[in-house]
Chain A
Amino acid sequence: GAVVSQHPSRVICKSGTSVKIECRSLDFQATTMFWYRQFPKQSLMLMATSNEGSKATYEQGVEKDKFLINHASLTLSTLTVTSAHPEDSSFYICSAKTAWVYEQYFGPGTRLTVT
């Protein structure tokens, strides 16, 4: 149980275009989802926290107009990188949790390359 999927696993896009990454909880209701960014050989940095049906809460320094997060259902959250640039190339990881438990379940990540 407690499986989180991400799609796509890898994506290459051209500079200036937008790309959407999906995060799904497959066997539980995710009341809260988190989006992380991980640069090579570095740690996970939280970008934003989203609660189902509410606007996402972004961490300091994260551009909310560039990284659009939608959590419209209890099983799906999406991260859209708008007008992507090469510096947005990174590994994006989502995690999900249900209410009143402490554990987060992580997705397998999405590698974004912007050319």
Chain B
Amino acid sequence: AQTVTQSQPEMSVQEAETVTLSCTYDTSESDYYLFWYKQPPSRQMILVIRQEAYKQQNATENRFSVNFQKAAKSFSLKISDSQLGDAAMYFCAYRSADFGNEKLTFGTGTRLTIIP
């Protein structure tokens, strides 16, 4: 079974600065997807960024980028120019590429606080 580990329960960053959230995972599969989800106080899960394991290039979405290290099974999220609206719980998630096994496995989350 796959596991996802987020070792930072809480992080804080000054507004406009950069912060990196860590995520490691364990799997025996070679093809899979990785995601970062944001859960603000409203509790609505919002997809921040995704990475296909077969792609060597790190995914980027505006101020959000990932550092995907497949051999190390590491998938960190970098948030640049942090904004107050970035304050939320962030969950790393794993999904097999096998369409017969589509469930998401979530990490325990990192609570990000933005300091004005």
A residues with a Cβ closer than 8 A to B are: 32, 34, 38, 42-46, 49, 91, 93, 95, 97, 100, 102-104, 106, 108-109
B residues with a Cβ closer than 8 A to A are: 33, 42-47, 50, 91, 95, 97, 99, 102-109
Set of chain A residues within 8 Å of B43, measured between Cβ atoms: 38, 91, 93, 108-109
The binding surface of chain B is classed by DSSP as loop
Q: Report Cα–Cα, A40/B50, bound state, in Å.
A: 26
Q: Which of A103, A104, A106 contacts B44 (CB 8 A)?
A: A106
B106 lies within 8 A of A43 (CB): yes
B104 lies within 8 A of A46 (CB): yes
Given A42-B109, A108-B44, 5 extra CB contacts under 8 A: A44-B104, A49-B103, A97-B102, A102-B102, A109-B44
The binding surface of chain A is classed by DSSP as strand
Set of chain B residues within 8 Å of A44, measured between Cβ atoms: 45, 91, 104, 106
A102 lies within 8 A of B42 (CB): no
Q: Report Cα–Cα, A28/B109, bound state, in Å.
A: 29
A49 lies within 8 A of B106 (CB): no
Shortest Cβ gap from A79 to chain B (Å): 16
